[in-house]
Amino acid sequence: MTDPAVAGSGAGAGAPRGLDLDRLAAYLGARRPELAAAPLRAHLIAGGKSNLTYLLRSGGHEVVLRRPPLGHVLATAHDMAREHRIISALAPTAVPVPEALLFCPDTDVIGAPFYLMEKVDGEVFRGRSQTDPLTDRQRRDLATAMMDTLAALHAVEPAAVGLADFGRPEGFLGRQVRRWAGQLDQSRSRPLPGVDELRDALAGSVPEGANTGRIVHGDYRLDNLLATVGTGPSASAPVSVRAVLDWEMATLGDPLADLGLLLTYWTVLGDSDAVVDNPVADGLGPRAGFPSGAELIDRYAGRSDVDVGPLHWHVALGCFKLAVICEGIHYRHTLGQTLGGGFDRIGELVAPLVEHGLRAVREK
């Protein structure tokens, strides 16, 4: 369960875990007084399994606060400054993002860096209870809008929006393997059969990465989008992506990494009997009535100049990366450092992800 909304008080008077509303109100009062009117209220927004997201209410204003998770935090994995910078940079582009309002690097305010962004109206489609009522046309249109938005992101020239130094494109894929291998070592708390074999197979077969140098979201999927779907009886009710969220792993690199991870969510977690009703991708993929992964790639390829080529290695990387992320969340859950529901089953996803990654990396 998530923390309920609470009236503005200090950390010891019922504020959601991860926030000190007295300190936060004082900080905002000095910098954005219109956001600090008493009473300051907050509640944790459900759904995120990594960085924490809160809705703040102050007077007539509603804004969103993002901060790193509690406790066990992997190096470079939850960088608030990077999230704030990239949504600021993408604001004038065709990529829909919330307006960035304020960044606070001072850990004395709430115990960690954080930033504020505007609250965007829309729905995050996380589960079957939300996607089952959609018509077939609406599900197809939602998947199409998701792929068109990803193509728009990969079309942005980094230097044109001040992001030329946002990452190091050269050697991106090799560094990805090493990075997630290192983060796996920091999150090990139990035997993980096959994961070292998958790591070594990826490291020994890194492709050239001809597309490197694009802006990469790092965790692009349907439930990291805010979308609107018409509520009328028409099967052709309009669908639009209002905002792309959760930019914590964004960088400059190979856009096929985004596609590979998206297919991992869509076809591994979203269309596999091994992970039915899982807490990460319950409402995604063909099993939930959406188009196939092959159709997604066709749509993207028709809107992008990126050479999609063989994606099997990138799917294998997506499986490895997501297995490491799930293992890290599982580890934090065992330490009592997660907020919200669904965390007790995250660890169950690691084994099928590793198994599918091994099959994908061996494809020719």
pLDDT tens digits for range 202-236:
999 999 877 889 999 999 999 999 999 976 555 55
Tens of pLDDT along 145-199? 999 999 999 999 999 999 999 999 999 999 999 999 999 999 888 999 999 999 9
Q: What is the pTM of this model?
A: 0.86
pLDDT at 274: 57
- Rounded-to-integer distance, Cα 308 and Cα 295, Å: 13
Kindly report which listed range (63-77, 221-235, 249-263, 347-361) carries the lowest average pLDDT score: 63-77
CA distances, 3 to each of 23, 54, 121, 316 (Å): 19, 10, 21, 36
Tens of pLDDT along 96-139? 999 999 999 999 999 999 999 999 999 999 888 899 999 999 99
Q: Comparing C-alpha atoms, which of 224, 253, 259 is closest to residue 98?
A: 224
Tens of pLDDT along 276-312? 666 666 778 888 899 999 999 999 999 999 988 878 9
Residue 239, CB half-sphere, CA atoms under 13 Å: how many? 22
pLDDT at 2: 33
Determine the angle formed by the axes of helices 195-203 and 350-361, rounding to 10 degrees: 30
Could you check whether the bond before residue 158 is cis, i.e. omega within 30 degrees of 0?
no
Query: Both tokens of residue 247?
Result: 């930019």
